[in-house]
Structure 1
């Protein structure tokens, strides 16, 4: 379903809960603290994750479909993901671009929750899965960044003979002369 499907009850319920939680937080915080908070619309999550994921993985950009898939899985896995992502994105906006390891190391001592969220984002993009054990969800196989390092010499591991999704290629033309010769050789 699309993000704005009017019949998506779960999506509407999730948005209602997000806005309710935001309203409760708004009422609970002192007015001075609110001046520093960037209140974001729910639909800016994908651009935030694209920026944050690109920074944390050292990429200029990540494929939009992959970002959307990772986002849905992380939201399902961690109910506070959107909140963590918002804070991470804001914090990383001022971080030096080539200093990912130091930034993440500093998060460990300053905010263990944000550190865990940052590692979950990196893990999702690199492994193509979110969660562990029986609760793990595959979000990308061929697009997993872990395969990039050896892409020139390694075939992506698979139980199929050719490569993942090899069956989506156009089948061979049975009338082609080479196919006819192979048929004759079998007889």
Structure 2
């Protein structure tokens, strides 16, 4: 008889734990938006400055903040002096009075090789979706993943190409040219 009582109380105890755990998880899920807002509000000055520089360099006013943070983290991990270089680039751009990335074409700022490389690294992180230099045939290199589907290299040709590994249609969908290329 004690054995049945112990088993029954163990089942009830487990149900109670299950229900209590569920309530805690539900409460945490409701707090997630508030936590995300608090995280966005607590961006450091460096992260905010990098975000502004990323918008300027890419020429895109609407970049995903998560992608910006990933790019920042990856670039920082790849170069211990990146923050200083990015700060110098942002200051030089502001001092030169440039208003868009197009203004950089042929500008004297790009005569500085370190600045040119820094700006290219930032742009590449968003357009290619990774930082560093991939080395073919090697398991390890200095590349860091930033984004895949949000890489800016895909939208300009979205009417004619697909993101690799994503199919737009049925088998052999590619046989017929896209509507944008039909005459």
Q: Identify the TM-score tier after normalising by the shorter chain.
A: 0.5 to 0.7
Q: TM-score, normalised by structure 1?
A: 0.57
Counterpart residue number, 1:127: 128
Whether the 8 Å CA contact 2:85–2:118 is kept in 1: the answer is: yes
Measured at CA, do residues 84 and 150 of structure 1 come closer, stay the same or move farther in structure 2, by a change above 3 Å? same
Gaps of 5+ in 1: 1-41, 164-187
**Alpha-carbon distance between aligned partners in 2 of 1:103 and 1:86, rounded to the nearest angstrom:** 20
Counterpart residue number, 2:104: 102
Which of the two has higher C-alpha Rg? 2
Residue among 136, 141, 144 paired with 2:143: 136
Measured at CA, do residues 161 and 151 of structure 1 come closer, stay the same or move farther in structure 2, by a change above 3 Å? closer
Counterpart residue number, 1:65: 66
Counterpart residue number, 1:184: none
Measured at CA, do residues 128 and 75 of structure 1 come closer, stay the same or move farther in structure 2, by a change above 3 Å? same
Deviations, residues 5-49 of structure 1 (Å, cap 9, x unaligned): xxxxxxxxxxxxxxxxxxxxxxxxxxxxxxxxxxxxx92222111
SS at match of 2:163: coil
SS at match of 1:146: coil
**Alpha-carbon distance between aligned partners in 2 of 1:162 and 1:53, rounded to the nearest angstrom:** 30
Cα deviation for residue 152 of structure 1 reads 3.1
**Alpha-carbon distance between aligned partners in 2 of 1:100 and 1:126, rounded to the nearest angstrom:** 16
Whether the 8 Å CA contact 1:142–1:156 is kept in 2: the answer is: yes
Deviations, residues 108-156 of structure 1 (Å, cap 9, x unaligned): 32x2211110111011111001001222112100110001101233221
**Alpha-carbon distance between aligned partners in 2 of 1:99 and 1:68, rounded to the nearest angstrom:** 20
Residue among 133, 153, 159 paired with 1:146: 153
Aligned residues: 120
Counterpart residue number, 1:170: none
Cα deviation for residue 101 of structure 1 reads 4.9
Whether the 8 Å CA contact 1:52–1:92 is kept in 2: the answer is: no
**Alpha-carbon distance between aligned partners in 1 of 2:130 and 2:151, rounded to the nearest angstrom:** 8
CA RMSD of aligned residues (A): 2.4
Whether the 8 Å CA contact 1:147–1:156 is kept in 2: the answer is: yes
Q: TM-score, normalised by structure 2?
A: 0.58
Gaps of 5+ in 2: 1-42, 136-140, 170-183
Cα deviation for residue 78 of structure 1 reads 0.9
**Deviation above 6 Å: which 4+ runs of structure 1?**
none
SS at match of 1:93: helix
**Alpha-carbon distance between aligned partners in 1 of 2:117 and 2:92, rounded to the nearest angstrom:** 15
